[in-house]
Structure 1
């Protein structure tokens, strides 16, 4: 499943009171997904990284307390009991609950920790208590782990596999990288445009194994975006070879060279808003250009155009229907499956454009024609 499909699946599982387990490669966006769900539902997100825990840490270190009790002879006597300290993350949960907040507890890397730590986390996840501490009944739990060769993964993660009984207590959700979903997310969070264009041109580089070199993951390109911004703003003060080395430290030498060459070369620009709306009709060169573009670049171009159209569609009186007609003329040049996907996104994500589109026969006619074509 891609990011959006996994997100919706997690929300459904959480609504049933069960614990979803996201299985996905490192850097694919599992933590970003947890943040997105917490933000959308106004939940306080608390993250526990199993890989960073040591034995006994989450359960709390034991201390001895003295208390009084009545002995057999009726006399008061002193007794001792073991009390476990409460981990800071668990105290954070209590503080959030006391403040009237709902809590999403995200436990990551549950198979990248020591076996004893994993058992402690399982107590918290499956029994909702550990060493006398009990999770509040309203706390929702989301777990995540890396793939294991036990389940056919081609990645050699050093993991501690769960036993069959533990596996059966989760709802397993396998998450995969999706360039189109990543491009949409990247545009929303402000990833550098050159990085976005690079992935739109080479979507296969988003998540790839480089033999004898560093793996490229979606998280890698977040770091590259930050690096490129600093490099760009340095105005030549950072040597090119230093920039290449840092990029290589994120995605490997081969992709690093590709990225730097892409940044420095005059690659064809994405189809722009002005090209679509400031011309009377599309000429043959433009039509041929659309036909030769990749799905990901066409999707990114449509997303950029729709964002701008959503902002200005009501500013020019009498031009709304003309804008929708021009938009549909562009989308009709797209592959039919991509056109249908974008039209569905218009309904979901661009309310002003969608409202205007419903008043134009060209939009409705195109939708049903495309639907019939896909159905065959």
Structure 2
């Protein structure tokens, strides 16, 4: 569910009900709850379930106090007699996070990563905003954020039906457009925003099947997510540009290696190719979608990639990724699809012979053998690609 819809639902929902947001890691659940707290004028209190050692982290720890017990009896004359005794009794000393004097937004973060006994202790709190004789101030809200457990991607516990019944549960899936709008006002590097506009499948961890397949079975393998693009890649690129780090081929190699540790190898390769091309005034998306490719643009492509086959290959991959991200127009044989296929053909033909052969073999032919839908689309719309493949695969023809 996107943020726009969630905002409408929360406006009319019962504010005393606890709300659970379920979504991928790094998609912005916690940050959005922080935004809600500020918007509603509530103090934000975060309790991390994974930190709870036992139920005492919720109920508090016992302490002994002296308490006077008073009771009355009646004597044989009907007189009421008062009795007093002092005893040591045990009471619970509540945790600090439960002692609030003003309305709060209490975020129970990652509650399906906590111990079972701690989760059970939360049931009264999430149902009525109170625990024993401790109650959250009137006007408080309770939210929880969790990663889903459906496909085994996360090491989390499954909440039972009674625990879930205390929450209104919503899948948290803000759209790419919502992230782009947010990123433009929160200092995210422009090249990252432009890259995601062109290749939206690289924003979240499980929207790119090729990337997911590439890391299957690998230990500590990275996939891209919104948090990494925002807090890691954007900062790295901004700091590197300040010292002119990425203005040489060696610097771009460092860029790939650094960003690979943040969003994974596949996303890093694609982003750095996009970044380098944008610095050369060669935006793959603008060129592949151009109404007409003039001689100056084609000459610039040939000049930039004449001595750098790797960069030329990256540029072609960026172009074909755009086609893959817009398959419906390509496969429906729209005017746009025909135009894009024509442009790709012209771009490849203006490359130097070595770069052209590599691009056709490693990108076009490889996609055909892998039965990629976009490759079938461009060959259908531009049959001349068959001859390019034949030439690239046969050294005698070249």
TM tier relative to shorter chain: 0.5 to 0.7
1:87 to 56, 77, 95: 95
Map of 1:10 onto structure 2: 10
Q: Is the 8 A contact 2:126 2:166 kept in 1?
A: no
CA distance in 2: counterparts of 1:143 and 1:19, whole angstroms: 8
Structure-1 residue corresponding to 2:389: none
Asked if the contact 2:17/2:127 (under 8 Å) is kept, the reply is no
Deviations 1:53-85 (A, max 9, x none): 221212222211122234789554321222222
- Does the Cα contact within 8 Å between 1:27 and 1:220 map onto a contact in 2? yes
8 A Cα contact 1:111 1:145, kept in partner: yes
Aligned pair partner of 1:176 in 157, 162, 173: 173
TM-score by length of 1: 0.64
Alignment of 1:240-251 (within 5 A): 240-251=252-263
- Distance (Å, rounded) in 2 between the aligned partners of 1:131 and 1:158: 31
State the match for 1:302 in structure 2.
none
- SS of residue in 1 equivalent to 2:113: coil
Unaligned ranges ≥5, structure 2: 73-80, 207-211, 294-319, 326-335, 337-398
Q: Provide the rounded CA distance (Å) in 1 between the counterparts of 2:142 and 2:132.
A: 18
1:259 aligns with 2:283: no
| RMSD, aligned α-carbons | 3.3
- 1:80-135 superposed Cα distances (whole Å, 9 cap, x missing partner): 222222322223x32xx1xxxx4222222111111112112222211322253222
Question: Aligned pairs, how many?
Answer: 272
- Mapping 1:269-288, distance limit 5 Å: 285=292
Please identify, of 119-128 and 106-115, the stretch whose mean Cα deviation from structure 2 is larger: 119-128
TM-score under structure 2 normalisation? 0.60
Question: In the alignment, what sits opposite 1:127?
Answer: 128
Describe the SS at the equivalent of 1:156: coil
Conservation of the 8 A alpha-carbon contact between 2:285 and 2:322: no
Contact 2:189 2:238 in 1 (8 A): yes
For residues 140-179 of structure 1, the aligned pairs below 5 Å read: 140-149=141-150, 154-179=151-176
Structure 1 residue aligned with 2:38 = 39
Tell me the residue number matched to 2:188.
191
Q: Alignment partner for residue 231 of structure 1, among 221, 226, 240?
A: 240
* CA-to-aligned-CA distance 1:305-357 (integer Å, 9 cap, x gap): xxxxxxxxxxxxxxxxxxxxxxxxxxxxx9xxxxxxxxxxxxxxxxxxxxxxx
Distance 1:200-1:14 versus aligned 2 partners, 3 A rule: farther
- Maintained 8 Å contact 1:7/1:37: no
2:223 aligns with one of 203, 215, 218: 215
Structure-to-structure mapping, 1:354-373, within 5 angstroms? none
Query: C-alpha separation between the residues in 1 aligned to 2:266 and 2:25?
Result: 20
Q: Indicate if the aligned counterparts of 1:28 and 1:218 stay in contact, CA closer than 8 A.
A: yes
- Structure 1 unaligned spans of 5+: 272-282, 287-291, 298-333, 335-376
Work out the CA distance in 2 between the residues paired with 1:243 and 1:52. Answer: 35
Q: Give, in angstroms, the shift of residue 6 of structure 1.
A: 2.6
Q: Is the 8 A contact 2:112 2:159 kept in 1?
A: yes
SS at match of 1:176: coil
1:204 and 2:201 matched: yes
1:122 & 1:243 partners in 2: Cα distance?
Answer: 48
The alpha carbon displacement at 1:179 in A equals 1.2
Which is further off, 247-256 or 72-81? Answer: 72-81
Correspondence for 2:348? none
Alignment of 1:299-310 (within 5 A): none
Distance 2:6 2:258 in 1: 32
Aligned to 1:47, what secondary structure does the other structure show? strand
Distance 2:166 2:252 in 1: 52
